[in-house]
Amino acid sequence: MAEESVDDMYCNCDTEMEKKVKEEYFKNEANKKLFGGVWRKAKVCAQNNMRKREKEDKKLTEYNMQAICVYTDGGQTNFYQIFNQAVRIMRSNYSSSFEFHSLHFWLTRAIQILNKPQCKTTYRRTEAEFTGDVNQEMRFGAFTSSSELTNQTHFGKKTCFKIHTCYGANLKAYPVMGNREKEWLIPPYEKFKITSKAKALELSDCDSVFTLNSTGILSNLNCSLRLVIGVIFLRLQLMPLQHR
């Protein structure tokens, strides 16, 4: 179940976290060479997206758009892979050495704003091995790209997924490549049940195909940064005064 995932979904603390991200995390993270570079590079993409933003997406801020642009720009650094590797394994370091709070927050909020009540079947191709069993529950544990299209063969055919997602979102024309790949982004906290491990007509060239049905959400870290802040503040309040 990807237990080490940074799976905060900011439920009931998004306003508070928006303020904290802007005033604290982003100021620090934007000065880091790797993240700062890809963030600045995505500025023009984000501005273009704001100009073509659909009316129903008016809650998307330029920060959300820039997060989408950063994530969907493969570029020479393949930054999304570095980011996702941290998201997969840094649960225990979330309040300390995790370096991507800003991107994680704004990308998560973008997915939540773009998410619609109707579930959707999407497809994912990979060159990786996957060993899950039928009836097993699982999470990808990172931000996971999928597509409405079945023919994205350049992503691989070793292990493929037919995914019924209820918490993912259609990124529309907002990715760097526009709507060419008809990309849907699945958040780290969505759970799935493996309902089949067999060939699927839509993905007949894949070595193995896993069919996944959404079973809800699991967010072990939901609003945990707020709790950490509260605990630190409480400890400071309870500390006895030290006289020199």
Between CA 203 and CA 116 the distance in angstroms is 26
Structure tokens, 163: 């995914």
> What is the dihedral angle through the alpha carbons of 43, 181, 219, 38, rounded to the nearest 10 degrees?
-20
- All structural domains of the chain, each given as residue ranges with its CATH number in brackets, are 13-217 (3.90.176.10)
Here the tokens at position 25 are: 């995390």
Question: Which distant-in-sequence residues (6+ apart) come within 8 Å of 97 by Cβ?
Answer: 90
Give the C-alpha separation, 240 to 236, whole Å. 9
For 114, the token pair is: 């773009």
CB atoms within 10 A of CB 193: 17
Q: Which residues of the chain have pLDDT under 50?
A: 229-244
Tell me if 104 sits within 8 A of 90, measured CB to CB.
no
What is the DSSP pairing of strand 159-165 with strand 208-217?
parallel
Q: Where do the H-state alpha helices sit in the chain? A: 14-20, 26-29, 33-41, 43-52, 62-72, 79-89, 101-114, 224-238
What pLDDT score was predicted for residue 76? 63
